[in-house]
């Protein structure tokens, strides 16, 4: 029997927990963790999983129109991967004692967030290039950091995802490069797409550090390892050279290179647009949730059939066993 009061017990455990995180130890499902750590993880991981699944829709929109068989296979495999990644992360979230069904329901009820980038429409084939290159490029910067997250199941899912996503960004950049050196119409298509996706991609890293409400806590607990602005800067620095290499232009007249820091400094991001989309008024928020809801409802009879069949089989097996006894 312990003589410590629950409060003293918890604060001792908290100190021990924070020491483990500080020492870069991995936190596993059965380890004690502060409730707030658990709830922040569930929030962040389920948002991440929802983003993967909703993220299938804008690109899925072009699978049936991909202009060559090779591109069709690549795109289908890529969108399939997003589904797989959603699945890995949902499973990781389930280790925290929540059910996937519950998380999916929160998404369908409009109670859960997902990455706002997927509330923008895909309007041309070039968008398949821009998304792979910029959106997956931004996601990789973020996920490379998350592969070192303190929660073991999240970090392990991220390691697998980062390995698989290597081809996503490359195939996107390859599409853009091919269009940029193609016919004048193709090059115009690529530039127009870059113009639309550039700013939303920068917004993917979230608000500036000074305006990011969850960041401090997530960093303290080792769920995030780098700040929004640090990650965004890293992405911009990587991407500008890639834009130049294929002779396209970033839609930012204020963009400049800072000799002192070696950073590319962008003009101001339109945070009004960011919050508008986050709050549900982006161009496709309603369509995206509606599409998920329809798939879920149309599939209800299928999921129910599998359960009913398994129950029948179990009943039959039990009866056979009883007869044999």
The residue ranges that bind other proteins (CB under 8 A) are 28, 30-32, 53, 56-57, 60, 63-73, 76-77, 79-81, 83-84, 86-88, 90-91, 94, 99-101, 105, 108, 125, 157, 160, 164, 175, 178, 182-183, 185-186, 291, 294-310, 312-313
Q: Cβ 299 to other proteins, closest distance in Å?
A: 3
Do residues 49 and 113 touch, judged by C-beta distance below 8 A?
A: no
- Dihedrals φ, ψ of 248, to 5°? -110, 175
- Measure Cα distances from 237 to 68, 231, 256, 258, 308 in Å: 32, 10, 11, 11, 54
Tell me whether residue 211 or residue 297 sits nearer to other proteins (CB atom): 297
Residue with Cβ nearer other proteins (13 or 276)? 13
The closest alpha carbon to 275, from 119, 140, 137, 143, belongs to: 119
Question: Which residue, 108 or 149, is less far from other proteins as judged by CB?
Answer: 108
State the Cα–Cα distance between residues 90 and 273, nearest whole angstrom: 29
Distance CA 54, CA 72 (A): 20
Residue whose structure tokens are 């002779």: 247
Contact of 254 with 267, CB cutoff 8 Å: yes
Q: From the CB of 259, what's the least distance to other proteins, in Å?
A: 39
Q: Which is nearer to other proteins, 39 or 80 (CB)?
A: 80
Q: Which residues of 161-183 are buried (b: 16+ CB within 10 A; e: fewer)?
A: bbeebebbbebbbbbbbebbeee
Q: Shortest Cβ distance from residue 318 to other proteins (Å)?
A: 14
Residue 175 or 202 having the CB closest to other proteins: 175
Q: How many CB atoms lie within 10 A of CB 204?
A: 22
CB of 202 to other proteins, least distance (A): 26
C-beta of 90 vs 173, nearer to other proteins? 90
CB 306, min distance to other proteins, A: 4
Q: How far is the CB of 257 from other proteins (least distance, A)?
A: 33
> Going by C-beta distance under 8 Å and a sequence separation of 6 or more, which residues neighbour residue 275?
none
Compute the least distance from the CB of residue 88 to other proteins, in Å. 6
Task: Give the residue with the Cβ less far from other proteins, 146 or 157.
Answer: 157
């Amino acid at each position: 029997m312990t003589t410590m009061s629950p409060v003293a017990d918890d604060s001792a455990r908290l100190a021990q927990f924070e020491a483990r995180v500080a020492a870069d130890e991995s936190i596993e499902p059965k380890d004690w963790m502060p409730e707030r750590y658990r709830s922040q993880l569930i929030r962040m991981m389920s948002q991440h999983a929802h983003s993967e699944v909703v993220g299938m829709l804008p690109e899925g929109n072009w699978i049936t129109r991909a202009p060559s068989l090779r591109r069709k296979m690549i795109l289908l495999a890529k969108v399939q991967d997003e589904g797989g990644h959603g699945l890995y992360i949902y499973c990781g979230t389930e280790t925290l004692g929540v059910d996937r069904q519950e998380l999916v329901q929160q998404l369908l009820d409009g109670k859960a967030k997902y990455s706002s980038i997927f509330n923008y429409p895909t309007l041309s084939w070039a968008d398949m290039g821009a998304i792979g290159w910029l959106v997956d490029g931004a996601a990789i910067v973020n996920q490379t950091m998350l592969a070192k997250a303190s929660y073991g199941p999240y970090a392990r899912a991220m390691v697998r995802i980062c390995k698989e996503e290597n081809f996503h960004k490359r195939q996107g950049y390859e599409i853009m490069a091919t269009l940029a050196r193609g016919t004048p119409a193709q090059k115009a298509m690529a530039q127009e797409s870059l113009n639309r996706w550039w700013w939303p991609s920068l917004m993917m890293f979230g608000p500036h550090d000074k305006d990011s409400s969850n960041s401090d806590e997530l960093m303290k607990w080792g769920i995030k390892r780098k700040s929004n602005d640090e990650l965004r800067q890293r992405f911009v620095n990587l991407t500008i050279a890639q834009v130049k290499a294929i002779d396209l232009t970033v839609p930012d007249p204020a963009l400049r290179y800072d000799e002192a820091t070696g950073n590319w400094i962008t003009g101001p991001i339109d945070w009004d647009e960011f919050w508008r989309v986050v709050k549900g008024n982006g161009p496709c928020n309603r369509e995206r949730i509606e599409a998920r809801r329809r798939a879920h409802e149309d599939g209800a009879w299928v999921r129910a059939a599998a359960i009913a069949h398994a129950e029948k089989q179990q009943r039959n097996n039990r009866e056979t066993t009883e007869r044999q006894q």
